[in-house]
Amino acid sequence: MDLLRTRFVEAMTAWNWSRRTIVSYEQNVRYFVDWLEKETEIADMAQVNAETICSYQTALLAEEKKTGELLTVATQHHRLVALRGFFAYLWREGKLLVNPAAQVSLPKMRRRLPQAVVTPKEALRLLDSIDTRTPLGLRDRAMLELLYATGMRNAELRGLTLADVGDATLTIRQGKGGKDRVVPMGPIAWAVLRDYLQKARPKIASRDGVTNIFLTKNGKPLDCFAVINAVRRAAKGARITKEIHPHSLRHACATHMLKGGADIRHIQKLLGHASLQTTQIYTLVEIGDLKAVHRMYHPRERRRRA
């Protein structure tokens, strides 16, 4: 079983899947193998049938996390998607005569509304609250400016290198889905980034060969928590009480541009969404707008104003 899992990882690597996806699939397949060893007498993947998969899916409903909470529907969904991909691979490669996971029904995931969106005024307060008199302060300002200006993800920001900087553009390499894209920064974000690159980065780039744009105070590439903490510090400085994290600025970028009249297909390209359906969630009308429309057009409200 371990050999088959290793071959699957090698295949995903050959297919040029992103490292994050490969790790997730490999881990979720390992969960299934662990379950087989603990709960069944199956010692070979050829013995797995549709009933086995069904039993595993049922077991996921009762599985608990370390916190004692049950697995979320999203986690169950990810486990089964990986399993379906694994068995499809084994069947295509002739390792199995039948694909036991071919008919697995994935749990339906509810479509969640975007989190409370940062308003344009809050976004400006967030950016202006950062003290840029220090190299790390200028770094944080540049990071948040880019997050808001381009809508890029945390991992995409951390993956930027000096070679990715163009004339007021950035090349985002190996984004979600392993795709590259070029995004504009806008004159303000571009000016702040130039200041950081010229005045601050040379003071913290103490390690030779590190080409990442954004670095720690010791000259090392940032981890995901460094960006999260930078956003939290700025939110605290701006006295914004709602929970804000890097993805909040991605939401804000998309929502504010759409509200300003930008075409949704342009937003799709900016955010790097493979499907327009993913972008369309940002077109949901905000409750404030809905209230105003309700007051203006509902016959009961119109009668009250008359």
Active site (catalytic) residues? 153, 176, 247, 250, 273, 282
Q: What is the 3-state secondary structure (H, E, C) of 157-208?
A: HHCCEHHHECCCEEEECCCCCCCCEEEECCHHHHHHHHHHHHHHHHHHCCCC
Neighbouring residues of 239: CB distance < 8 A, sequence distance ≥ 6: 125
> Is 85 in contact with 25 (CB distance < 8 Å)?
yes
Neighbouring residues of 173: CB distance < 8 A, sequence distance ≥ 6: 159, 164, 180
